[in-house]
């Protein structure tokens, strides 16, 4: 278990799936946790209960759209005031509106950019001052194996996730002198609500392309995120950690 006692973390897209697993893992390490969600109140309440049960000393639910810069800044200000600073940011919120390029609507392209990439920019910018005040911090961006290798029908999603990798490396260089680290995780095929709805034949085909011969779990990703956010990774910045079972090396 990683030690986050005395730290406050904000996890975006924390109401379910990978985001929820990350929030719970941080809570197990003793972090106070702010959970961002976009609209699913019931799922957010479930996630909050799990985070509290995992041992988070303080918690806060934050409903806002990460694509809204003003809302991001307001949320960060409230978290700092209510939970005592902000030391870890996990940019996990993301959407995938899959479509072949020729049929992709401009508004769907833009929405994915706004949430997946601009959302990370908005929050990273907002947390910079409180992290500087704390004389350090850790930012972890959730990219994707699709951002590294591409995928038919996901040109917009892949573009945003590839953009996050470049963003991560640039932020790491900018903020290193202030002891603020920035890293990325690129999950492969993870067993979430989205993949559980796939037919068994599709899951089997996906698994055949993975050397470790299984889908990943949300907890696999959460462990990687917690490592990068922890003091055990104090000399790691600008890294891209693959969590994909070997499907892309």
Residues acting as catalytic residues: 157
H helix runs in the chain, sequence order: 17-28, 41-53, 69-83, 106-112, 119-133, 145-149, 155-175, 193-196, 200-208, 218-229
Question: Are the CB atoms for 35 and 44 separated by under 8 Å?
Answer: yes
SS3 14: coil
Question: Are the CB atoms for 238 and 211 separated by under 8 Å?
Answer: no
> What is the residue whose two structure tokens read 């929820």?
20
Q: What gap in Å lies between CA 27 and CA 43, rounded to an integer?
A: 17
CB-based contacts of 219, cutoff 8 Å, min separation 6: 21, 25
CB-based contacts of 8, cutoff 8 Å, min separation 6: 31, 32, 33, 34, 58, 79, 80, 83, 84, 85, 86, 87, 88
Q: What gap in Å lies between CA 236 and CA 96, rounded to an integer?
A: 29
């Amino acid at each position: 278990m990683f030690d986050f006692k005395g730290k406050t973390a904000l996890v975006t897209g924390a109401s379910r799936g990978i985001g929820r697993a990350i929030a719970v893992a941080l809570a197990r390490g003793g972090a106070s946790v702010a959970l961002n969600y976009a609209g699913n109140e019931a799922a957010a309440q479930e996630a909050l209960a799990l985070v509290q049960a995992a041992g988070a000393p303080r918690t806060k639910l934050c409903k806002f759209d990460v694509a809204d810069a003003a809302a991001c800044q307001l949320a960060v200000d409230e978290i700092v005031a209510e939970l005592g600073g902000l030391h870890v940011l996990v940019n996990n919120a993301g959407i995938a509106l899959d479509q072949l390029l020729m049929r992709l609507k401009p508004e769907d392209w833009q929405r994915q950019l706004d949430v997946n990439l601009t959302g990370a920019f908005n929050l990273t910018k907002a947390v910079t001052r409180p992290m500087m005040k704390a004389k350090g911090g850790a930012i972890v961006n959730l990219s994707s194996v699709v951002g590294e290798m591409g995928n038919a029908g996901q040109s917009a999603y892949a573009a945003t996730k590839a953009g996050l990798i470049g963003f991560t490396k640039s932020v790491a260089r900018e903020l290193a002198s202030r002891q603020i680290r920035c890293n990325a995780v690129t999950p492969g095929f993870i067993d979430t609500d989205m993949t559980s709805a796939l037919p068994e034949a599709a899951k089997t085909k996906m698994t055949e392309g993975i050397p470790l011969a299984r889908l990943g779990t949300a907890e696999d990703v959460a462990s990687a995120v917690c490592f990068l956010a922890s003091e055990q990774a104090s000399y790691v910045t600008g890294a891209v950690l693959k969590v994909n079972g070997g499907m892309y090396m």
